[in-house]
Amino acid sequence: MRVAAVLCPPPLPPVNGRLVDEGPHYQVGSTVQFTCNERHQLVGESSIVCTETGFWSHPPPFCKARCPYPGDPEHGRIAPVKFSYEPGDHLKVTCATGYVVKMEARSPQCRVDGTWSEKVPECRSYRDV
């Protein structure tokens, strides 16, 4: 009598992400890797393994929107400094002595799609304002 091979169900790709290698069948020991689209960060395990129980070793990860570090303006600094920013985060620009941000400049905010609402304001010399 032949025993049927244990298979895991196909994992769903995360929203704003994808499976790196998709196979038609996932037998015990099969590994699936996940990646996220640009401006998104993987939360959870980046790879999962099909176990002998027919279930995956971990739940599939998800992809969360993130804004990249935009860099400091010339003659200034942004705060807070992070590798990446979550939607809703705001940036504050502090200029070096003798420089100032225009009064009408708005504070950049990280949007839900992983982009900044505004460019980082420039620091301008007091003489040019």
- Do 32 and 86 lie in one domain? The reply is no
Looking at residue 93, which CATH number applies to its domain?
A: 2.10.70.10
* 29 and 53 inside one domain: yes
- Asked if 50 and 25 sit in the same domain, the reply is yes
Token pair 């301008």 is found at: 124
Same domain as 129, residue 72: yes
Range of the domain at 80: 67-129
Note down pLDDT in tens along the chain; length 129 residues: 566 788 999 999 999 999 997 777 899 999 999 999 999 999 999 999 999 999 999 999 999 999 999 999 999 999 999 989 999 999 999 999 999 998 888 899 999 999 999 999 999 998 876
* Residue 1 is assigned to a structural domain of this protein: no
* Burial class for 1, CB neighbours closer than 10 Å (0-12, 13-18, 19+): exposed
Judge if pTM exceeds 0.85. Answer: no
Residue 2 inside a domain? The answer is no
How is residue 121 written in tokens? 């304001």
Q: Let me know whether 123 and 75 are in one domain.
A: yes
Question: In the chain, how many domains are there?
Answer: 2
20, part of any domain: yes
Amino acid at 75: H
Whether 16 is covered by a domain: the verdict is: yes
Boundary of a domain, candidates 65, 96, 114: 65
